[in-house]
Amino acid sequence: MIGHDASAATSVVVLNTVSAANTAAATSALIDCRPYKGTLVFIIQTGAITGTLDGKLQGADDAGGTNLADITGATATQVTTANKIARISVPATARPFIKYVGTVGTGPVLIAVSLMAHPGSV
């Protein structure tokens, strides 16, 4: 996880709080994960929800999305009720650039995503 010294972890906003009516609105930009080491913990927090939300991580080789693909096993439990917190953990070496994809089945859903990680070397 984050390790024994959580105070050394860095917080990164992946997706600002948004009322997402569709998947595009619940999907983040690619995050450069090269500066981090150990385990990356993506924290998904939801508020009001009308339908369902399925979350996953995708990774790419660069900020432009080259070779963008799902990261095996990097999924969150489906959200169907309000006010839930979920997490997806992956090794910092999973992919150099990672984004969160929130598949909205009948929106909207109030969602925010953040990343907790330990700084490392590029």
Give the count of domains, the chain: 1
Alpha carbon distance 119, 44 (integer Å): 21
Is residue 70 a part of any domain in this protein? no
pLDDT digits (tens, 9 = 90+) for 27-73: 999 999 999 999 999 999 999 999 999 999 999 999 999 999 999 99
> Is 0.85 topped by the overall pTM?
yes
The answer to whether the beta carbons of residues 49 and 65 sit under 8 Å apart is no
Is residue 62 a part of any domain in this protein? no
Is residue 110 a part of any domain in this protein? yes
pLDDT digits (tens, 9 = 90+) for 6-26: 667 899 999 999 999 999 999
- For residue 20, give its domain range: 6-53+80-119
Tell me the β-bridge partners of 46. 111
> Which amino acid would we find at residue 39?
T
pLDDT digits (tens, 9 = 90+) for 65-111: 999 999 999 999 999 999 999 999 999 999 999 999 999 998 899 99
